[in-house]
Amino acid sequence: MQKRKQVRWKIDKTLSPELSKTVEEASTPFGVLARLHKMFVGTTKLSLVRQLRAVNKMRYEKGMNLLTVIGELKRGFTKFENMGMPLLDILKPYILVLVLDNTFENILRAPFSREHIVGI
């Protein structure tokens, strides 16, 4: 018991108030490490994978509101950026194309054909 009090005193002496609060709230050492990891490193790679999977599963179905789908996609992009994985602005339209289906061929079709680009 005496040794535990000494360790506790050292922890309280060396840690800032926020870290000390973290140590008090967590019941196990693993909980302390997980909380410290979230404080300093951010969210885990697993939550990034879960968010990426959620965005990949998004699909537009006929009868749904297109603005709602685009809003959900924007929220997914924002979550990525908040987790520390910024997406390039150039990739966002490509992800939108993956979400839409073939009913939006006029959006998905390139505005110029290959002949216009190459100059044939």
- Does the global pTM surpass 0.75? no
Nearest CA among 39, 60, 38 for reference residue 47:
38
Average pLDDT over residues 63-84: 75
Average pLDDT in the 21-43 region? 64
SS3 58: coil
For the ranges 16-25, 60-69, 72-81, which has the lowest average pLDDT?
A: 16-25
How far apart (Å, rounded) are the C-alpha atoms in residues 71 and 65? Answer: 10
Higher pLDDT, 120 or 35: 35
Half-sphere exposure for 21 (CA within 13 Å, toward CB): 4
Percent above pLDDT 90 for the chain: 0
d(CA 16, CA 5): 18
Distance CA(37)–CA(45), nearest Å, equals 12
